[in-house]
Amino acid sequence: MSDFVRPVPLEHAYRLINHGPVVLVSATYGGDTNVMAAAWVCALDFSPPKVTLVLDKATHTRALVEASGQCLLHVPTRDQARMVLGLGSDTARQDPHKLSKHGVQWFQPTEGSPNLVQGCAAWLQCRVILEPHNQAAYDLFIAEVDAAWADERVFSGGRWHFEGAPDGMRTLHYVAGGQFFVTGAPWWVEDRVPDGTT
């Protein structure tokens, strides 16, 4: 299932989330893995790439992130909208079968790589930079990106290109109340259209 998954150079990793998509956050500790949905994830730096993410104290995923010092970000697609809502609504504390219930399946892009959620458009492997005050006062985590991958059908050469791929592979932007927006048409200011791009 990883035929189209390619590593993304770290200097392009920020572009995987620069357009503000909703993401899935996963973490593993002591054999326990969980996944939650998070709309409040944002790029923080280019090089080395860093991100901010907001993880509520009530979430089991946060406990796993704090225990392991690591997390993975998975950028889901329109085809995964139902899974995203389910993973954002249910808690593993009440439903231990949350992941299988919502159809989460895993793959490894290469041997030794972490497990990534199948069917997403991009993935970022992150290491938490400990900032106890931010975490306690604001639920705000800072992490550095150590590796990144993308499905080359929608991201390659450092940019997203949803045209030419199935519409179900577009990324999602979350609003509230179960409503998403799909990432729409590209827009270039006229005199800045790169060669070969229409």
- Tell me the residue type at 11: E
CB of 123 to its own copies, least distance (A): 18
How many CB atoms are located within 10 Å of the residue 168 CB?
Answer: 12
Beta carbon nearer to its own copies, 113 or 142: 142
Q: Which residues bind its own copies (CB under 8 A)?
A: 15, 18-21, 39-45, 50, 52, 54, 78, 81-82, 85, 131, 133-134, 138-140, 142, 158-160, 170, 172-190, 192, 194
Beta carbon nearer to its own copies, 45 or 95: 45
Beta carbon nearer to its own copies, 28 or 121: 121
For tokens 């790029």, the residue is 43
CB of 196 to its own copies, least distance (A): 13
- Tell me the residue type at 7: P
Beta carbon nearer to its own copies, 28 or 49: 49
> What are all long-range contacts of 158-161, with beta carbons under 8 Å and residues at least 24 apart?
158/9, 158/12, 158/15, 159/15, 160/15, 160/19
CB 151 within 8 A of CB 169: yes
